[in-house]
Amino acid sequence: MTMSTTKSSHGPLMLKGMLATVLLVLILPLMPYVFAVNTDVSSSVAGSVPNPGADLWRAVRARDGVVAGSSQVKGVETGVLIDPAGKAWLEFRKEKLIPYSAYVFAGVASALLLYFLLHGRIRIKAGRSGVLVPRYSRYERWVHWIMVVVFMTLALTGVILLYGRFVLIPLLGPEGFHMTAQISKWLHDIMGPIFIISLIVMAFTFFREAICRCKVDMIWFLRAGGYLGGKHPSSGKINAGQKAWYWAVVLGGIVLIGSGLVMYFPNFQQGREIMQNANMIHGLAAVFVIAFMFIHIYLASVGMEGSLECMTSGNCDENWAIEQHDLWYEEMKEEGRIGAQSSTEKQAQLPD
Amino acid sequence: MAAMKFYCDAERCIECNGCVTACKNVNEVPWGVNRRRVVTIKDGEPGERSLSVACMHCADAPCAAVCPVDCFYTTDDGIVLHDKDICIGCGYCFYACPFGAPQFPTDGAFSSRGKMDKCTFCAGGPLEDNSSEEFRKYGSNRIAEGKLPACAEMCATKALLAGDADMVSEIYRKRVVNRAQAALGKGAQLRYRNFGSKVDMKGKATN
């Protein structure tokens, strides 16, 4: 009896107490919301309330370069919320590389034009002798002209992709330029690996001639190759300027290949920053080598009489050899290779 | 003229990845492409926060500034879209974007890049609205149907907000103030309630 009365008197009370506790537990966390809803949002507090979202972004950004988080989406740098390096890369490309490279190309081209107008074509002073001196073998010429095709394709397509938006889109329209740009990108991608082989072959083919003969080359540089007046400095088979061009292509080419491969294979999990830097290096090296190429093309074509035929027919005129490459000419003479031509060299001499 | 924006409320995001799934489902994106991802900061540590990130549809978009073929355009709603018929897949937008939004399906040899794919704010592309070609290339065009992006509409905690920038910021501002009011109403100081200084990147780095 007593048990049941205690039950009947205490049971509902306990239940009520438990219910009240549960309700309290449920409602209490909501109290601030009720409070907040009833308060005018635009009260004086609003001005001084920190914005946790902005604070979080700021804090994450302060840790630039570091992988700051993790993501269920797996992939390269998916944990990076914000990468400020892209801005620096963009500014470099838009505000430095594109305008300054244009100045460099225009500057070199106009300097060459000015030189041509003031100085004219460099003639063979003694006139053509009619005696031919074998200069480049058939193999060397093939190596050279294959390199020309590969390098010019790469340079042209690269330049199209660099300036196309500003120069070609106004001319061709976006759809028209799309085809040009797409073909340029494919060609650039295809020619890149061919350039690697071409460069290796070329580097070995002309290596022996491009080794520095320090004294001769130093004098050549000090006299600026005789291009700015004064006595023409002596030189071996190729002069110091040509050697500089060789090393510009070889070393520049190595830099271009290295940085190009970084961008060419995104599947090696390299991050954006590496590719941004590779792109900057690629651009700078390309501008340097292309600007140098202008000088090479100028001197090998309109700039100098008797130079282009060396690479087309393989032979040069005796007087040209004496004037431009005196030390080499003397070597050739000592070896008795002038006048006495082998059958293959005679074949090469034929106009083609 | 409206300016469409996303904003993810880090105080609400629970890293359920519902937005990521919704995006994939609605847009049927190519394999390997994730237009949206959830990043968790300080995973498992005090002050852990998650944020859902995709294209932010920047007012002055770096991707558009760098694109060599100029394939980006901004709609009247302030949504940054691109033309896949013009894109050449060079990857420059991916280098320039701070948020890692541009994605590239790897459909060639050596993971060479296909045409860029990114969040369209569920607004399709330059092709005819809701045409099958538009869907194949860009995903669905919910904006043309008068709907908001699927990710934000699917968000269970309404952490991911999408819509007109003024409305989004008004909603977020109210939330921030309400939370601060709530904290102050309980007699706590703001900095002890995870506002401000406590939400920083100090402590162990979660990589």
**Biggest alpha carbon–alpha carbon distance for chain A:** 142
Encoded amino acid at B136, one letter: R
Tens-digit pLDDT profile for residues A114-148: 999 998 898 888 888 888 889 999 999 999 999 99
The verdict on residue B80 lying in a domain is: yes
Rounded average pLDDT over A96-105: 96
pLDDT of residue A338: 75
**Mean pLDDT over residues A19-26, rounded?**
73
Please identify which residue in the block is written with the tokens 């970084």. Answer: A262
CA distance B132 to chain A (A): 22
Residue B201, pLDDT score? 56
Nearest chain A residue to B88, by CA = A182
CA distance linking residue A241 with residue A224, whole number of Å: 9
In whole angstroms, give the CA distance from residue A283 to residue B68: 14
pLDDT, mean over chain B = 86
Q: Is B180 inside a domain boundary?
A: no
> Residue A158's closest CA among A179, A186, A177, A178?
A186
Total number of residues shown for chain A: 352
pLDDT at A23: 72
More confident residue, A175 or A277: A277
Taken in order A257, A258, A260, A262, the sign of the CA dihedral is: positive
β pairing state of B160-164 and B4-8? antiparallel
DSSP H or E run through A23: helix A2-27
Q: Which domain holds residue B124?
A: 4-168
Is B190 part of any domain?
no
Q: What digits encode the pLDDT tens for the residues B35-59?
A: 999 998 888 777 788 899 999 999 9
The beta strands (E) that lie in B61-176 are given as 72-74, 80-82, 160-164
Q: A66, B205: Cβ pair inside 8 Å?
A: yes
What pLDDT, on the 0 to 100 scale, is given for residue A342? 45
Distance of alpha carbon B58 from alpha carbon B35, whole angstroms = 15
Q: Please give the average per-residue pLDDT across A204-217, as a whole number.
A: 87
User: Is residue B79 within a helix (H) or strand (E), and if so which, with residue range?
Assistant: none
- B200 assigned to some structural domain: no
Domain membership of residue B22 (yes or no) is yes
Give the residue-averaged pLDDT of B150-165: 94
Cβ of B182 within 8 Å of Cβ of A35? The answer is yes
In a domain, residue B83? The reply is yes
HEC per residue, A50-90: CCHHHHHHHHHHHCCCCCCEEECCCCCCCCCCCCCHHHHHH
**Which residue of A56, A89, A181 is in closest CB contact with B10?**
A56
The Cα B63–Cα B55 span in angstroms is 10
Lowest mean pLDDT among A42-56, A313-327, B59-73, B128-142: A42-56
B174 occurs within a structural domain: no
User: Would you call A41 exposed, middle or buried from its count of C-beta atoms within 10 A (0-12, 13-18, 19+)?
Assistant: middle
**Residue A124 burial (10 A CB sphere; 0-12, 13-18, 19+):** buried
Q: What is the mean pLDDT of chain A?
A: 84
**Domain membership flag for residue B76:** yes
B112 contacts in chain A (CB < 8 Å)? 189, 264
Q: Measured between CB atoms, which of B53, B177, B207 is closest to A81? A: B53
Pairwise CA distance, residues A280 & A293, whole Å: 20
d(CA A334, CA A340): 12
CATH number at residue B18: 3.30.70.20
Q: Which of A79, A87, A266 sits opposite B113 (nearest CB)?
A: A266
Q: Is the ipTM of this complex over 0.90?
A: no
Which H helix or E strand runs over A96?
none
Amino acid residing at B80: V
Name the closest residue on chain A to residue B36, using Cα atoms. A73
Mean pLDDT, rounded, for A296-301: 93
Only one residue has tokens 């690629």, namely A282
Which residues in chain B touch residue A66, judged by CB atoms under 8 angstroms apart?
A: 205, 207
Number of domains in chain B: 1
Q: Is the pLDDT confidence value at B191 over 80?
A: no
